[in-house]
Amino acid sequence: MQTYPEIAPKLVIHGGLLDTRKTLTQARHTQEKFHDALAAVVKESFDILCSVGARNAVLYAVRALENEPLFNAGTGSVLQSDGQARMSAGLIDSQTGHFSGVINVQHVKNPIDIAQLLAKEPNSILAGELATRYAQQRNIPYYNPITSARQQEYEQQSMHQTGTVGAVALDSKGVICAGTSTGGIGGEIPGRVSDSPTVAGTYASSVAGVSCTGIGEQIIDHAVATRIVTRVQDGIPLQIAVDKTLLEARVRDYCFGLISLDYTGKVVVGKTQEQEYYQLLYASYDGQRLSVYP
């Protein structure tokens, strides 16, 4: 593995692609809550990045976002059509080159932790009831992630779509790690598989890492994360790789957003839908410069 000792650590996180037309409330104070939550998580996670590396920073960041009911992951996950919360997460870093993921796990607080456990297994992706049983067998405490707000939205058939959460980090050793976690799209067929626990939605190599959010089927069809990283591996700058990928997706009227980071610390974020009411919630930090949207 290459190392880049002159490159300062960098971290970028996201809280999903928000369609403000479908939210229950979009008052100014709600925007401020998103801002404050993202800013706090990215700063805290950066300390982890500097002390114990990219993978631990991504785990910390995604776990913190899963614990924030504002976002659709972990606590606050939206409900599938049968009223159940089924959560998914994916994780990969450039040091191991090994992807691990959990699909439609239930009754856990932090799905990203199950993805981390599976990284140590010969079978690194598990799904459904057996994924839940796997977590129970490893003494992961039972947890109900369904909030009263999500239950109310389900009963009113008005899903508060704040998308997926994710993080991409670069540490001082040049390791890049990407992780993503989601509660799904809400109201979907029970057992539906999202992009988050696949390399289409979560991918990293020694040159770049990507975490996606949006309509998972479209992200999978477009192989977004791997497409971008492969282009960077082929010598295309990250900004151009992202722009080209988004342009191709716009032709097909796809709806997704992404965060990305390359081995130089360059951060690129983007979304396919250019309208103002589509907001990609994200934050980046390098120890000095903090960028947060909204």
For the cut 70, the answer to whether the pLDDT of residue 246 exceeds it is yes
* Alpha carbons 186 and 121: distance in angstroms, whole number: 30
- 150 annotated binding-site participant: no
Indicate whether 71 belongs to any domain: yes
**Average pLDDT in the 107-118 region?**
98
Q: What are phi and psi of 164, to 5 degrees?
A: -105, 165
Indicate whether 142 belongs to any domain: yes
Picking from 55, 22, 259, 40, the residue whose alpha carbon sits closest to that of residue 175 is: 55
- 194 annotated binding-site participant: yes
For the cut 90, the answer to whether the pLDDT of residue 89 exceeds it is yes
Indicate whether 72 belongs to any domain: yes
pLDDT value of residue 157: 82
pLDDT value of residue 23: 58
pLDDT value of residue 29: 61
Residue 78 lies in domain: 10-293
**Average pLDDT in the 187-205 region?**
97
pLDDT value of residue 2: 46
pLDDT value of residue 4: 45
Residues 6+ positions from 160 with CB-CB distance below 8 Å = 22, 23, 24, 72, 78, 149, 150, 153, 186
Indicate whether 5 belongs to any domain: no
- 193 annotated binding-site participant: yes
Indicate whether 1 belongs to any domain: no
**Average pLDDT in the 3-19 region?**
84
Q: Which of 164, 180, 198, 202 is catalytic?
A: 164
Amino acid (1-letter code) at residue 153 = E
Q: What is the CATH number of the domain that holds 224?
A: 3.60.20.30
Domain count within the chain: 1
CA atoms within a 13 Å half-sphere pointing along the CA-CB vector of 188: 19
**Average pLDDT in the 225-231 region?**
98
38 pLDDT tier (thresholds 50, 70, 90): very high
Is 164 considered catalytic here? yes
- Decide if 144 contacts 107 (C-beta within 8 A): yes
pTM summary value: 0.95
pLDDT value of residue 162: 60
**Average pLDDT in the 205-232 region?**
98
Indicate whether 240 belongs to any domain: yes
- 216 annotated binding-site participant: yes
Average per-residue pLDDT for the chain: 94
Indicate whether 28 belongs to any domain: yes
Percent of the chain with pLDDT over 70: 94
Lowest mean pLDDT of 8-22, 153-167, 245-259, name the range.
153-167
Indicate whether 29 belongs to any domain: yes
**Average pLDDT in the 173-198 region?**
96
